[in-house]
Amino acid sequence: MKQNLIIGVIGLGYVGTPLALSLGRFFKVVGFDLNKKRILQLKNKKDITNEANLSEFLKAKKIFFSNELKDLKECNIFIITVPSPVTKKNKPDFYYLKKASSLVAKVMNRKSIIVYESTVYPGATEEQCVPVIEKISKLKYNKDFFCGYSPERINPGDKKHKLEKISKIVSASNKKTLNTLKFMYGKIIKARIVPTSSIMVAEAAKVIENTQRDLNIALANELSIICSKLNIDTNQVINAASTKWNFHKYSPGLVGGHCIGVDPYYLTYKSKLLGYKPQIILAGRKLNDSMAKYITLQLEKHIKIKKLNKKNLKILMLGVTFKENCPDIRNSQSLKLCKLIKNKYKKVYVYDGVANIKSLEEEDIILEKRLKKNTFDIIILAVPHKNIVKKGIKVIKSYLKQKNIFFDLKGHFDKKYSDFRL
């Protein structure tokens, strides 16, 4: 099979698009997504996620984009890269994974390989997805078709750690399939290919990556709250501590997006099913989820200190995406903060320059296109996009009236310029 791979990449978002384009340089690839508008954009070599540029489209000479299921019939490898969110009750939501699995099951042939890249709990691929494929295809797992799991590690908006530079974990349901996947991914990955002994090990490895990061940021956030009460600067404390060789440097901040703020719930869900209620993981999640409310309380405190008139306050939010230089607003804690502030103070304005405009309109957020001097009582620099911070602190503060408040949440500028930062 190695010499005749025809690959279908299902789901063309932040993960699927760069993966499909990279593979399209070496193999025949069908990039599939149900969203017709998305397919049209990609056919026109446009990527609204900003993860792929024109040169990457031009290099992928063996790729074909489609929203027609029939175009996947020739494929012998299917890579599923759809979202794996949680419900409002923070339980795993397998809708997209099961939907993608059912679509593949309708067109796959015998000896096909289905690879999952979405983050799930250990065991989910074989417990949740394989039964769907078996039921619809009428084929037998590990006899008529095979599965693999190779978790995505793309960092949206990060132009340094691109797909080919990130070590790739690879697992499969048997050795032959594993060798095929090592060969396939080895064509595009310049870093290490890391095989694991089982699919479950790979699933666990991925979910713990984001859980660890979530917990470390929670620790930094708690430190920030304590430092605020001690009236000392959190960044100075962290910088001093990081001079020790075995100190791991993490900064406080709003933890959102579709990975770090979601994945720990997959692990804790599975753990509870096994009879163990996690203590540390859930505590970290609770603290990180509370940070938007904490910042809102700090804002109220500073408004009282400066004796500003609450009724006529004009507040400007700079950045509302889930992280800097990325247009994605899914599970954005900055957007959550914006909404909390809007509930208390009606005149809240947003300037971003990176966020997906239509997505924000659906959230009833209207973006400011131009900013005028001496206009706002409060400015909150929530997401330090390059297009925002390059203006410089003097220009940013010029938008404020004389009696004002400036929050620099991530401490991008020197402390002397801000009234509050994490």
Please list the active-site residues. Answer: 259
What are the E-state strand segments in 346-399?
348-351, 376-381
Count CB-CB contacts under 10 A for residue 370: 5
Query: Got the DSSP string for 17-43?
Result: HHHHHHHTTTSEEEEE-S-HHHHHHHH
**Under 8 Å CB-to-CB from 170, ≥6 apart: which residues?**
148, 150, 178, 181, 182, 185, 193, 194, 195, 196, 202
Q: What does the alpha-carbon distance between residue 2 and residue 12 come to, in Å, rounded to a whole number?
A: 24
Count Cβ neighbours within 10 Å for each residue of 76-101 and write b for 16 or more, e otherwise: bbbbbbbbbbbeeebebbbebbbbbb
Helix (H, G, I), strand (E, B) or coil at 405: strand
Angle between helices 199-230 and 280-289 (to 10 degrees): 50
**23 residue type, one letter:** L
- Two tokens at 49? 């996620």
Q: What is the number of helices (H) and of strands (E) in the chain? A: 16, 12
Residue pointed to by tokens 């394989």: 130
* Strand (E) or helix (H) holding 238: helix 234-241
DSSP one-letter code for 141: B
Helix (H, G, I), strand (E, B) or coil at 7: strand
